[in-house]
Structure 1
Amino acid sequence: MNDGTRTIRWGILATGGIAADFTRALQSLPNTEVVAVGSRSAEAAKAFAERFGIPRAHGSWAELAADDGVDVVYVATPHSAHRIAAGLCLEAGRAVLCEKAFTLDAREAGELVESARDRGLFLMEAMWTYCHPLIRRLREVIAAGEIGEIRSISAAFGFAGEFPPEHRLRDPAQGGGALLDLGVYPVSFAQLLLGEPDAIRAWAHLTPEGVDDNTGIVLGWNSGAVATLGCTFTADTDAPATITGTRGRIEFADGFFYPDRFVIHRPGREPQAVLLTEATADPERGTMRHEAAEVNRCLRAGETESPLVPLAGTLAVMRTLDTVRALIGVTYPGVD
């Protein structure tokens, strides 16, 4: 039975920067408590717990997973550990919100989905973009035919940095490269609007370690639609996106994956700006609030899957990323 006031008790698995951001987002939600944190280091768990006033600190992932006072665990490790960490939690009977990219490949993703479904447990990829109010509004605008039938999508996400060879972004053992870290955003954006593609092409520049640092992707659909996507950690982008239809286009000037506005352009009409109505000083944390609120809603309603971030969509994105990775020649140890 749906209980909209039931307090949802969260556990945080890992203690890095994104775990801290998500914890702050959770602590801004009503009827939501962060009750435990787990890390491979007892010292790190204790320090994180003290920082955020969390009652219980566990010195291993397994201890957190076994904590019966936790309703749902947020997995915030690098994606190379998602399969193990999320799997531990599901096996212990915990619902899971797992960061993106969901896993290293589609096989691992399928194993997590199967585990959750076998146990009747909630599982969701932390694709915050899908839960964002403006992206939900975007889907309504497109479904209403405001720009006609989609013919093309372009989207890119990148930043520049000096990353040493041992950095996780350059480490194949940690699922390094731009594709899983950044490319998951434009690929997910395109597939949210058009579904799984019928054709995939890609090119990338590889680092000496064998991971991609600059990647271009073209997706095609039998409908005739195409998407041109990019990801890089060698240059800053404003994360722009454009959706072009038969009767108009929609533009995101920047931050398409956590936007504060988009603009609809149609022939013979003034451009129409669609704005985010809520005010927030921290757009990324604000976006995390939306996905956390969706998890809370699903758990209170007894749902094992979010209609906003369906597992079938997550698996489809992972299949696309697998194909791109094969085309650009990036391999990870122990992954087919």
Structure 2
Amino acid sequence: MLNYGILSTASICARYIAGVRESKNGFVYGIASRNLENAKQFAKKHNIEHYYGSYSECIEDENIDIIYIPTMNAIHYRWAKYALECHKHVIVEKPFVLLKEQAIELFELSKKNHCFLMEAQKSVFLPTTLKLKELLDTKIIGDIKYINLSAGFPGRFPEGHWMTDHASGGGALYGSCTYTVEFLSFLFDEPSYQYDAHFIKGKGSADDVVHFTLLFNDIIVSSVISMCCALKNEAIFYGTKGYIVVKNFWKSNGLDVHIDGNMTHFDFPYTSEFVYENNHIQECIEKGLTESPVMNKEKTIYAVKIVEDLYKQM
């Protein structure tokens, strides 16, 4: 059994904990907050025995095997590096880090210290995504020519929240660009992209809406992410014979194939969307791997570079 330590009491943590508990070989050992009372209350609510009033205390606990980092984006690098220096396996929420050089350094450190390191990217492990890749590979809808992906999260972050501050790693692009980029990188076997973007800033210093385009393999991709608009939250793959719709593509439990006016639905229900990536993480660690063969360092480093480059345009 692998013991997890979680650095944060953010809203995503409860869902991630459910995925660990449903997984084959994971146990939620402890929860950390920068405020001891917050950690204590979260631990009590979610039936976690150990809690810590600092991230470092959690990392340094010799009983913990894996550190999961869903903190404010700007401090992912700091705590991932410290955890690796303490010889812990590390899972870092997206965006992995804010700079390409930071990502390269962390993967080099994980290899040096023989620790597993992966960006948390649940979308590429979902049964729906695996079925989608199978359908695209068999060209059930012909040759793909255009892909549209949209994701909107209106009202989630109030004024003054760190997600409205660019320096803290906030903004629509930092928040969700990697879902688009790494989702497609998995489906199309790590293509090389041409890319461009347009931004609308919100009340803070961060971007509220971003529209970016990708071009690869004669396929045009249009992706819109918004923290203020109620978008459709779906990915649509348009081919020469039909199209495929995947609702909530980053956590989807099904997809629809449309050909010649007929629709075929594929259903993949789950209890927790996080269980699949955690089963994969545990299998990798049991094999002694320092990186995932699926969500590998190349996908992560390339995604970090793309986000970094696009922000330079803003």
TM-score normalised by length of structure 2: 0.92
1:24 aligns to 2:18 (yes or no) = yes
Equivalence for 1:272: 264
Equivalence for 1:260: 253
Q: For the structure 1 residues 28 and 232, does the alpha-carbon distance in structure 2 shift closer, same or farther, using more than 3 Å as the test? A: same
Q: For the structure 1 residues 209 and 270, does the alpha-carbon distance in structure 2 shift closer, same or farther, using more than 3 Å as the test? A: closer
- Aligned 1:21-100 pairs, distance under 5 A: 21-100=15-94
Task: Specify which of 266, 277, 290 is matched with residue 291 of structure 1.
Answer: 277
Equivalence for 1:332: none
Equivalence for 1:224: 218
Shift in Å at residue 279 of structure 1?
4.7
- 3-state secondary structure, aligned to 1:308: coil
Residue 191 of structure 1 contacts residue 317 of structure 1 at CA under 8 Å; is this kept in 2? no
Shift in Å at residue 204 of structure 1?
0.9
Equivalence for 1:4: none
- Give the distance between the partners of 2:264 and 2:67, measured in 1 at CA: 40
Equivalence for 1:307: 293
- 3-state secondary structure, aligned to 2:274: helix
Q: For the structure 1 residues 255 and 164, does the alpha-carbon distance in structure 2 shift closer, same or farther, using more than 3 Å as the test? A: closer
Residue 99 of structure 1 contacts residue 125 of structure 1 at CA under 8 Å; is this kept in 2? yes
- Give the distance between the partners of 1:8 and 1:117, measured in 2 at CA: 20
1:116 aligns to 2:102 (yes or no) = no
Shift in Å at residue 163 of structure 1?
4.7
Residue 196 of structure 1 contacts residue 317 of structure 1 at CA under 8 Å; is this kept in 2? no
Residue 142 of structure 2 contacts residue 242 of structure 2 at CA under 8 Å; is this kept in 1? yes
Alignment deviations for residues 100-147 of structure 1 (CA, whole Å, 9 cap, x no partner) = 111122222222212112222111111110111110111122222323
Deviates more, 1:166-175 or 1:40-49: 40-49
- Give the distance between the partners of 2:87 and 2:3, measured in 1 at CA: 14
Q: Aligned-residue CA RMSD in angstroms?
A: 2.0
Residue 128 of structure 1 contacts residue 291 of structure 1 at CA under 8 Å; is this kept in 2? yes
- Give the distance between the partners of 1:207 and 1:31, measured in 2 at CA: 42
Deviates more, 1:125-134 or 1:169-178: 169-178
Question: Which AA in structure 1 matches 2:280?
Answer: E
Deviates more, 1:76-85 or 1:41-50: 41-50
- Give the distance between the partners of 2:259 and 2:110, measured in 1 at CA: 44
1:141 aligns to 2:165 (yes or no) = no
Q: Provide structure 1 residue ranges, at least 5 long, that are not aligned to the other structure.
A: 1-6, 281-285, 330-336
- Give the distance between the partners of 1:279 and 1:115, measured in 2 at CA: 35
Residue 25 of structure 2 contacts residue 282 of structure 2 at CA under 8 Å; is this kept in 1? no
Task: Specify which of 151, 155, 159 is matched with residue 145 of structure 2.
Answer: 151
- Give the distance between the partners of 1:89 and 1:162, measured in 2 at CA: 30
Task: Specify which of 206, 209, 212 is matched with residue 211 of structure 1.
Answer: 206
Question: Which AA in structure 2 matches 1:43?
Answer: E
Larger strand share, 1 or 2: 2
Shift in Å at residue 309 of structure 1?
1.3
Equivalence for 2:237: 243
Question: Which AA in structure 2 matches 1:62?
Answer: S
Shift in Å at residue 287 of structure 1?
0.7
How many residues align? The count is: 313
Deviates more, 1:161-170 or 1:305-314: 161-170
- Give the distance between the partners of 1:37 and 1:279, measured in 2 at CA: 25
Q: Provide structure 2 residue ranges, at least 5 long, that are not aligned to the other structure.
A: none
